[in-house]
Structure formats: C-alpha cells, structure tokens
Amino acid sequence: MITKVEAQATVAAMFGSAGAATQDVSVTTGGGAGGAPIVVSAPKVIITPIPAERVDGTTVLPNDEQLRVQASVLPPSTKLKPGDSFSGFADGLQRNVVTAHLDAMGVLWTCAVRRVF
C-alpha cells in the first residue's frame, strides 16, 4: 500500500516533469456559509483535454477540460467545488469548476472545468 508521503512525492514528480505544461493561476472559492469569496494562489496547475469517459453530456461536456492541482499548494481549508473559478491562464480565459474531486490520500485535486469566453 502506498503511503501519503509516497503519493505526495509521486504527484510532485508528475508536476515537476510537466515543466512548461504547468501554469501559475489563482482560484476563487465561494467561502461557504455566506462568507466572502476567497482568492488563493494555485501555483502549477496542469490543464488537459477531458478524457472521453468523464464526459456525461449533462454535467461534463465534450469541450470541458481537466485541471489538476496539488492539494499541498492550497491552504488546508480549501475545498474546491462547482462554482469556484480559476483565472490567470496564458490564454486569458477564466475556467469555472464543474466537478471537483480530491483523491483518497488528499494529495491531488482533479477538476472538470469549463472555459468562460
């Protein structure tokens, strides 16, 4: 069985080897319970086309993208959820979170995001 430390090292290596494919952006979360939105730096996100098996045609659409971010680069209280947004991409577009999933080890967030034109 893999430990959390091993999982973190594996994810860090994945982001390290991605190099130019990573982008430094910011994420705006809703704050919850009527709280004001919170903006935090999310260095080194990886954004790729969404895998076909994740497209359900209702929530996740064919032109959505998959965004990955290490949980360790966000404040511990950050809980990504639909309606949160990422901004600061090289293409100038904002991406809204459609779905968000934190892996069982609490190491990697994988989100389906939709570009806002």
Task: Assign residue 79 the CATH number of its domain.
Answer: 2.40.10
Q: What length does the chain have?
A: 117
Give pLDDT, residue 97.
95
Give pLDDT, residue 66.
95
Rounded to whole angstroms, how far apart are CA atoms 63 and 40? 26
Q: Which residue stretches of the chain have pLDDT < 70?
A: 18-21, 31-36, 42-43
Q: Which domain holds residue 68?
A: 4-116
Number of domains the chain is built from? 1
The SS3 call for residue 99 is strand
Give pLDDT, residue 36.
67
Give pLDDT, residue 45.
87
Give pLDDT, residue 33.
54
How far lies 47's CA from each of 26, 33, 50, 51, 66, in Å? 14, 29, 9, 12, 6
Over the stretch 3-20, which tens digit does the pLDDT of each residue have? 888 888 888 887 777 665
What pTM was computed for the model? Answer: 0.81
Give pLDDT, residue 34.
58
